[in-house]
Amino acid sequence: MATKNAEALAAANKKYEWGFSSDIEQDFAPKGLSEDTVRYISAKKNEPEWMLDWRLKAFRLWQTMEAPDWSKLNIDPIDYQDAYYYAEPKAKPKLGSLDEVDPEILRVYEKLGIPIEEQKVLAGVEGSRKVAVDAVFDSVSVATTFRKELEAAGVIFRSISEAIREYPDLVRKWLGKVVPQRDNFFATLNCAVFSDGTFVYIPEGVRCPMELSTYFRINAENTGQFERTLIVADKGSYVSYLEGCTAPMRDENQLHAAVVELVALDDAEIKYSTVQNWYPGDENGKGGIYNFVTKRALCQGKNSKVSWTQVETGSAITWKYPSCVLAGENSVGEFYSVAVTNNRQQADTGTKMIHLGKRSRSTIVSKGISAGRSDNTYRGLVRVGPSAEGVRNFTQCDSLLLGDQCGAHTVPYIEVKNPSAQIEHEATTSKISEDQMFYAMQRGLDSEAAVALIVNGFAREVLQQLPMEFAVEAQKLLGISLEGSVG
Amino acid sequence: MATLPTNAQEAWRWTDLAALTSAAASPRGDAPAAESYWLGIPGPRIVFVDGVYALEHSTPGHVALSPLTLDTAHPLGAQASGAAGWSIDLSAAEIVDPVQIVHLATGAESHLPARLTLDEDAVAQVVETYVGTGWTNRLTQIDLERGARLMRSVRLLQSDGFVSIRDEAVVGEAASLITQFLGAGGMGSRIDAMLTLDGDSAFVDYGGALLTREQQRQECAVAVRHAALNGSSRQTWRAVAADRSQASLAARVEVARGAQKTDGEQSLRGLLLQRTATVNLKPELEIFADDVKCAHGATVGELDARALFYLRSRGVSEARAKALLTKAFVSDALDRIGDDTVREAFAADADTWLEASL
């Protein structure tokens, strides 16, 4: 077994397949973070006065806050003055279609294998499912496709800076409502310096005619990315939103602190899917993205539903807890997660389900896979308020360890103030058994294919929640991240 | 003296530190009589009054007591470092019956460091009872040599105040540490432990039942650390919370790098008797080895309506049916006490609590 592990670990040390960087002219804010940086970003975005004030308020708050230390992450202190907070590719003004996009950018997309072209073809086919892409290249939204069709349905799908200019009342009403400015250190930082992101509004009764999709990239050296996403689903509406990430290889640690806010009103449903494959650092943990994300959904209306699905394979540090505040009666929160760590990666991820509404329900399925010398932690909270009658929760978190140098941790919190609640939590830890490997290999699979098969089986409950567009990519990612890791 | 932690610290967020400080500030009164707390069995009897060994009330028999002081980095345990403590050697073969230790507290604060030791292949049973009022703080270091077996039952019956227990155990090769707690008094409590399975094939069974009512808050914060091969551990905790009380169960299994073939199991369950009560659970796993079996289950809820209906359809009154089912719930933990007399005494204490609360 020991030798098998050794082989597996050696094979797992493969290079980041999608790492490279391309040179596009960039506009930088000066290095470091001060009020001037905040003003610079706001001015760059042509933002109204209220937005600048909002940012400055957050910045002043941030200066009084301290970085949280409760996670099971081993991070050297981050020098926030040693990073760029804004980088914008020198884009041509007003792009009409993808053809006008900087060819260099298109080349990056191609190299990454992002199926934009494929999606266009797909879109051209009568009756086929359509995907709208709001591509974020570093910090600025470069191209937005399918806008017209969405507009016909009444759906607003904009970069957040556009939305601030075009729909100030709507943005002002919801921005910071779910994740307030003083929420946590990283969210507050984001409030001060967020560069761009996505705003989606689905009007009452509308079922969004296509899957909405954003690809995030981190491209400029030393550039922190501070995305801000706000999705509001009005009464009886439905939207499925996909977020996918791959990033070029770099030596410097890159800071990423995104905030995602979702609001679901009565009978609305939001499905939010993420595939994250940022540069995880090399085998010694050098480089790699620091990913501190605050994602939270407010199920405000009765019968509202929010479903988070995430496949996390990248980043050196992942600090991410997509949560649901289940305020509406009969509201439903779901969290499906696969987190893979290899080499020196550290992931501390999980969810919070805050049950405030009567008969609200939640399901948590978390699958952690650790290999190499990595650490993978599930950290979750299920809280039931005193007036939330008839709450149901089911939590399952399973860990799979590949090799004896990695760690798998489970830190669930359960806080219940109402006796009618039924809360169940289960967790298991296992490895890939020799029996499983033997069975798969005597059917003719090589060890890598066998591991990929077993890991995909382990994560199946989560992967099947992903929209079709993502499922294939996610399965591939799991295989690549763990290539050769025989347990 | 070391400073106390605050609720802002993650490991102390559920602790009733206010109750602890106000108990410490309470005036001293008269000592309750130890007589009513002895179980009707022979064997050595040891009494501590406000953390001081009361020779005149004790009949230690073959238990060897010698003075000591202890040091620890733990913030609660550190309160007791420097205080006069006792090393209690339970190795003598003549110790057959359970060793009974009664802690009488009269108010204010008392700190007692103690060490329980068992030599190779020695076997002992200990029953500890905490009664009285004030803040009673006990730091216990437990040292079990190869093949030693310690079966310990601890009941917290203080009428009010606060009891804090800090256990630091090192369990040697093939040794077993079995400890069951019953928190059925009116005090606040924190049962805090770091138990290390240091030798091959060591075994730890550590759990209990915490019963809370009125404004009371009790909690356990236990870590079992597997540092050697083939270790197994069981943590079975039950919490019953009534009125506006809060019961918190935090239990962690740590598996160190290389501690292969570990088998760790946790079962944390909470029962809420009223909607104003709170149960907090935190079953935690921290695993650094791949060939291990670790599982935990945690549930919170109220009594099963179907089971209640079943009993009532057999002519059992509602109050009686509730008491029966709650008793069954608590017995998951208390039935793990091996000695019949001790188990029955603990069950009777739990019954008294249930009768008064339901």
Residue B346 belongs to some domain of the structure:
no
- Residue A407 has a pLDDT of 92
CA distance to partner chain B, nearest, from residue A355 (Å): 14
- Residue A13 has a pLDDT of 46
The confidence band for A98, taking pLDDT boundaries of 50, 70 and 90, is: low
- Residue B198: domain span: 10-302
Contact B302 A487 (CB under 8 A): no
Give the Cα separation of B89 and B240 in Å (integer): 35
CB contact B292 to A (< 8 Å)? yes
Residue B316 belongs to some domain of the structure:
no
The confidence band for A399, taking pLDDT boundaries of 50, 70 and 90, is: very high
Instruction: Return the closest-CA partner of residue B178 out of B142, B155, B152.
Output: B152
What does each C-alpha distance from A193 to A52, A81, A197 come to in angstroms?
Answer: 10, 13, 12
pLDDT in tens, B129-176: 999 999 999 999 999 999 999 999 999 999 999 999 999 999 999 999
Tell me which of B300, B308, B357 to substitute to probe the interface with A (most A C-beta atoms closer than 10 Å): B300
Could you tell me what percent of chain A has a pLDDT over 70? 76
Among B281, B294, B302, beta carbon nearest to A414: B281
pLDDT surpasses 50 at A124: no
Could you tell me what percent of chain A has a pLDDT over 90? 42
Give the Cα separation of B183 and B67 in Å (integer): 29
CB contact B358 to A (< 8 Å)? no
CA distance to partner chain B, nearest, from residue A388 (Å): 10
Contact A424 B299 (CB under 8 A): yes
What does each C-alpha distance from B286 to A72, A189, A246, A377, B259 come to in angstroms?
Answer: 10, 31, 30, 8, 12
Contact B295 A487 (CB under 8 A): no
Task: Report the alpha-carbon angle A160-A166-A172, nearest 5.
Answer: 65
- Report whether B152 contacts B123 (CB < 8 A): no
pLDDT, average across residues A194-205:
90
Q: Which of A123-132, A352-361, A437-446 has the lowest mean pLDDT?
A: A123-132
Contact B300 A420 (CB under 8 A): no
The confidence band for B87, taking pLDDT boundaries of 50, 70 and 90, is: very high
Residue A436 belongs to some domain of the structure:
no
The confidence band for A304, taking pLDDT boundaries of 50, 70 and 90, is: very high
Residue B314 belongs to some domain of the structure:
no
pLDDT, average across residues A307-328:
92
- Residue A118 has a pLDDT of 41
Residues of A in contact with B260 (CB under 8 A): 404
CB contact A399 to B (< 8 Å)? yes
Give the Cα separation of A487 and A403 in Å (integer): 6
Beta-carbon neighbour count of residue A25 at 10 Å? 10
Q: End-to-end distance of chain A based on CA atoms, in angstroms? A: 8
Residue A202 belongs to some domain of the structure:
yes
Give the Cα separation of A165 and A168 in Å (integer): 6
- Residue A321 has a pLDDT of 95
The confidence band for A162, taking pLDDT boundaries of 50, 70 and 90, is: confident
Counting the structural domains of chain B, the total is: 1
Residue A239 belongs to some domain of the structure:
yes
- Residue A469 has a pLDDT of 64
CA distance to partner chain B, nearest, from residue A382 (Å): 10
Give the Cα separation of A153 and B342 in Å (integer): 73
Residue B340 belongs to some domain of the structure:
no
Residue B133 belongs to some domain of the structure:
yes
Q: Which of A71-75, B85-89, B271-275, B333-337 has the lowest mean pLDDT?
A: A71-75
Contact B300 A403 (CB under 8 A): no
Counting the structural domains of chain A, the total is: 1
Beta-carbon neighbour count of residue A404 at 10 Å? 20
Residues of A in contact with B298 (CB under 8 A): 412, 414, 423-425
- Residue A23: domain span: 19-430
Contact B282 A386 (CB under 8 A): no
Residue A54 belongs to some domain of the structure:
yes
The SS3 assignment for A3 reads helix
Contact B278 A415 (CB under 8 A): yes
The SS3 assignment for B53 reads strand
pLDDT in tens, B34-60: 888 999 899 999 999 999 999 999 999
- Residue A343 has a pLDDT of 85
The confidence band for A140, taking pLDDT boundaries of 50, 70 and 90, is: very low
Residue A172 belongs to some domain of the structure:
yes
Residue A455 belongs to some domain of the structure:
no
pLDDT in tens, B295-319: 888 999 898 889 999 999 999 998 8
The confidence band for A119, taking pLDDT boundaries of 50, 70 and 90, is: very low
Backbone angles phi, psi at A475, to 5 degrees: -60, -40
pLDDT surpasses 80 at A18: no
User: Which letter does DSSP use for residue A199 in this model?
Assistant: E
- Residue B272 has a pLDDT of 93
Residue B315 belongs to some domain of the structure:
no
Interface of A with B in 4-63 (CB under 8 A): 5
Interface of A with B in 57-76 (CB under 8 A): 70, 72
Task: Provide the whole-model pTM.
Answer: 0.84
Residue B192 belongs to some domain of the structure:
yes
Residues of A in contact with B302 (CB under 8 A): 419-420
Residue A217 belongs to some domain of the structure:
yes
Among B272, B273, B295, beta carbon nearest to A427: B295
Q: End-to-end distance of chain B based on CA atoms, in angstroms? A: 42
pLDDT surpasses 60 at A248: no
Residues of B in contact with A424 (CB under 8 A): 297-299
Q: What ipTM was reported for this prediction?
A: 0.84
Residues of B in contact with A72 (CB under 8 A): 286
Tokens describing residue B113:
């460091």
The confidence band for A414, taking pLDDT boundaries of 50, 70 and 90, is: very high
Q: Which of A265-269, B213-217, B273-277 has the lowest mean pLDDT?
A: B273-277
pLDDT surpasses 50 at B111: yes
The SS3 assignment for A235 reads coil
Contact B282 A414 (CB under 8 A): yes
